[in-house]
Structure 1
Amino acid sequence: MTDTQSHGVLPSQGIAEMINDDAITLSHPADSDQIQPASLDLRLGDRAWRVRASFLPGERRTMAQRLPDFAMHEIDLKQGTVLEKGCVYLVELREALALPGNVSAIANAKSSTGRLDLFTRLITDGATEFDRVEAGYRGPLYAEISPRSFSVLARPGLRLNQIRFHRGRAALTDSELSALHDDVRLVDGPAHIDDGLGFSVDLDRGKDAIVGYRAKPHTGLIDLDKLGHYAIPDFWEEVRAPEGRIILDPGAFYILVSREAVHVPPDYAAEMAPYLAMVGEFRVHYAGFFDPGFGHSATGGTGSRGVLEVRCHEAPFALEHGQIVGRLVYERMSERPDRLYGADLKSNYQGQSLKLSKHFRG
């Protein structure tokens, strides 16, 4: 890769090239669907540690150097291990990096991970931030995992987070975003563009309709390999909003949905921006990547709602229908991917509305 190549998010074929060039190394052969249109799924390795606190290695320090300060015991994942709610774990990943000097990366939880309130972050050697990989990084990758609502059963090979690679500036300015919306319409209603594309919450879905779900505080275990297996009422309470309003309880976790149907054209990707304190006493969306083709009509979508993973913090908060709760930052691809969300992949959430993770029936 050279500096003469286009700036932007690297597409699926660029990620495959990085694997062939050993810029991404794999301790096990790649899964057939591991490469996504604009990201690479990361897989849990065999070793994990229960740690007493979340931590970062710090500049010029490796994870191996810091682990003795925090590790409580080592865990062999090969037979399957329960990751308990409220605990923090560190897991080696099957992927490592030897990035070129002009390529950086950012990581995020996968959609199903966020919808289980399974807080997952990427860590590198020398890291001073979570989920960020500096250009030119060479070394191993680790996932910090902290189940918040449900204890889970995990095994090697599970894909809980994903990584997106950037070359140069990728994010669109507001003027560029406005021009793109005028050209292809990014949402099905008015476009609220201010440091990204704003989106609001849908709490008016009809009389007595379910507007969301709230995680039950005491539930059974979720085996992350079992898809379409669990009954919704065993883990979730239905949320209704007859007056177009709900009050979020501190510490509770909710699955809600955006009022807008979102569209990500094939030559672009998007990311849910970090929580802003001025929005309210809650955090929206742990899983923030939207792939090229999400909600795109040519790939089986007519706009797809954004599913919102919401956790309330210090004080009860009244959330109103149509309230702006977050924003999407659109990024240009360095080139169009050779596969698109919903078209060439078994995409679980194309054309979605309110939807729990793929582990639940119905």
Structure 2
Amino acid sequence: MTGVLASQQIETLIAEGAIDTGAPPARGQVQPASLDLRLGSEAIRVRASFLAGSGRPVAERLDEFEMHRVDLTGDGAVLEKGCVYVVPLMERLALPADLSAVANAKSSTGRLDLLTRTITDGGTEFDRVAPGYTGPLYAEICPRSFSVLARSGMRLNQIRFRRGQSVLDDAALRALHDSETLVGGGPALIDDGLGFSVDLQPAEGALAGWRAKRHTGVIDLDRIGHYDPLEFWDPLQARHGRLILDPDAFYILVSREAVHIPPAYAAEMAPYLAMVGEFRVHYAGFFDPGFGHAGAGGTGSHGVLEVRCHEAPFVLEHGQIVGRLVYERMDEVPAQLYGAGIASNYQGQGLKLSKHFRAPEAGA
């Protein structure tokens, strides 16, 4: 068999010692197609982002770049906006030779513009774990828009395990769409994945998006539904179906399409080609089996877009293709689907900030 490992298979890896969690797994840590990773006891402030490089351990590179360390136990510590930190994670791996892994930020992490990437000993790419890797895992964390209060045990990123090559080519994706209706509200644009576009013509009175404020307070990552969004975000209206993106500003927008991930598949959001504009979409990219699936409490769910403009102001227009979903087969259907009786914050979502913010008042 080939494909992405399901929750019950991840639990078997833990029981067999291929995944050492360092402490008993937390409730909800095993997701339908991924494992949440937990911050360890300290964060190391470094001068710059880095990769270990072939044959070199991360600890050796930390000796070159370390500035100081902060204790994440107890009350935790503030990770300052614009700074780079490396945090040893609780989990370690001893993967069999036929298993590789890919990591990504969790949805709530990406929606805070909290750049979080996984690095490994000997790693030459972020968020990629080589087949058969044995060793520690580290999170590189760079708060981009907001300073955050972090504590040991928090879960900012997640990891998927896969056996072999399981990505659907365009022919297989078209066949899946024909049988499962992967996207509603129009024809499916299938070209190296399932394309999706931005919605800049919301219903009357609804917001088109949010833009992060430049100067805000600290966000405690343990506080759910706590913060007034207007203290951290500017609400946006789109005029005539367009929005001008400011350089280096961070936006939360939403896809025009409602997408569906069938139970036997997983998906990952990938950025669109750079030639379409000077902006980036996607900081958190995993879509679990059952996302938007009618049998798991969804009727198609819109993708929230985490957008950062680069060098020059850029006009984003309604219906513009901004990204694509790459679908993969599951090795097994998960015992638990996204949204079906588990703590899934974004099933059936539209435009939505991270779980740390209260729902905006009508007319905001």
Q: TM-score, normalised by structure 2?
A: 0.97
| Structure 2 residue 349 is the aligned partner of structure 1 residue 352 | yes
| AA aligned opposite 1:295 | G
**Alignment root-mean-square deviation, CA:** 0.8
Give the Cα separation in 1 of the matches to 2:34 and 2:205: 39
Q: How far does the alpha carbon of each residue in 1:215-237 deviate from its partner, in whole angstroms, 9 at most, with x for none? A: 00000000000000000100000
Offset at 1:208? 4.6
Aligned partner of 2:36 in structure 1 is 41
Alignment of 1:56-205 (within 5 A): 56-79=51-74, 80-188=76-184, 189-205=186-202
| Structure 2 residue 4 is the aligned partner of structure 1 residue 9 | yes
Aligned partner of 1:210 in structure 2 is 207
Offset at 1:64? 1.2
Q: How far does the alpha carbon of each residue in 1:256-289 deviate from its partner, in whole angstroms, 9 at most, with x for none? A: 0000000000000000014521121000010000
Q: Secondary structure at the match of 1:45?
A: coil
| AA aligned opposite 2:319 | G
Offset at 1:12? 0.3
Offset at 1:48? 1.5
Q: How far does the alpha carbon of each residue in 1:103-135 deviate from its partner, in whole angstroms, 9 at most, with x for none? A: 000000000000000000000000111000000
Q: How far does the alpha carbon of each residue in 1:70-92 deviate from its partner, in whole angstroms, 9 at most, with x for none? A: 00012211131000000000001
1:330 to 311, 327, 332: 327
Offset at 1:187? 0.3
Q: Secondary structure at the match of 1:183?
A: helix
| Contact 2:207–2:235 under 8 Å retained in 1 | yes
| Contact 1:201–1:325 under 8 Å retained in 2 | yes
Change (3 A) 1:208 1:32: closer
Q: Secondary structure at the match of 2:179?
A: helix
Give the Cα separation in 2 of the matches to 1:302 and 1:281: 33
| Residue identity (%) | 70
Q: How far does the alpha carbon of each residue in 1:158-194 deviate from its partner, in whole angstroms, 9 at most, with x for none? A: 0000000010011000000000000010000210000
2:308 to 301, 308, 311: 311
Give the Cα separation in 2 of the matches to 1:138 and 1:206: 51
2:336 to 336, 339, 350: 339
Give the Cα separation in 2 of the matches to 1:272 and 1:279: 17
Aligned partner of 1:25 in structure 2 is 20
- When structure 1 is superposed on structure 2, of 161-170 and 206-215 the one drifting more is 206-215
Q: Secondary structure at the match of 2:295?
A: helix
Aligned partner of 1:3 in structure 2 is none
Offset at 1:344? 2.9
Give the Cα separation in 2 of the matches to 1:47 and 1:98: 23
Give the Cα separation in 2 of the matches to 1:262 and 1:252: 27
5+ residue gaps, structure 2, are 360-364
| Contact 1:250–1:315 under 8 Å retained in 2 | yes
Offset at 1:317? 0.4
Q: Secondary structure at the match of 2:23?
A: coil
Q: Secondary structure at the match of 2:175?
A: helix
Q: Secondary structure at the match of 1:182?
A: helix
Give the Cα separation in 2 of the matches to 1:314 and 1:242: 23
Aligned partner of 1:256 in structure 2 is 253
Give the Cα separation in 1 of the matches to 2:343 and 2:204: 34
Give the Cα separation in 1 of the matches to 2:341 and 2:140: 31
Give the Cα separation in 2 of the matches to 1:302 and 1:238: 27
| Contact 2:271–2:322 under 8 Å retained in 1 | no
| AA aligned opposite 2:307 | V
Give the Cα separation in 2 of the matches to 1:343 and 1:111: 18
Give the Cα separation in 1 of the matches to 2:101 and 2:161: 4
Offset at 1:206? 3.2
Change (3 A) 1:250 1:69: same
Give the Cα separation in 1 of the matches to 2:156 and 2:120: 16
Runs of 4+ in 1 over 2 A off after TM superposition: 206-209
Change (3 A) 1:275 1:50: farther
Aligned partner of 2:267 in structure 1 is 270
1:229 to 226, 230, 240: 226
Q: How far does the alpha carbon of each residue in 1:226-260 deviate from its partner, in whole angstroms, 9 at most, with x for none? A: 00000010000001013100000000000000000
Change (3 A) 1:275 1:88: farther
| Contact 2:56–2:121 under 8 Å retained in 1 | yes
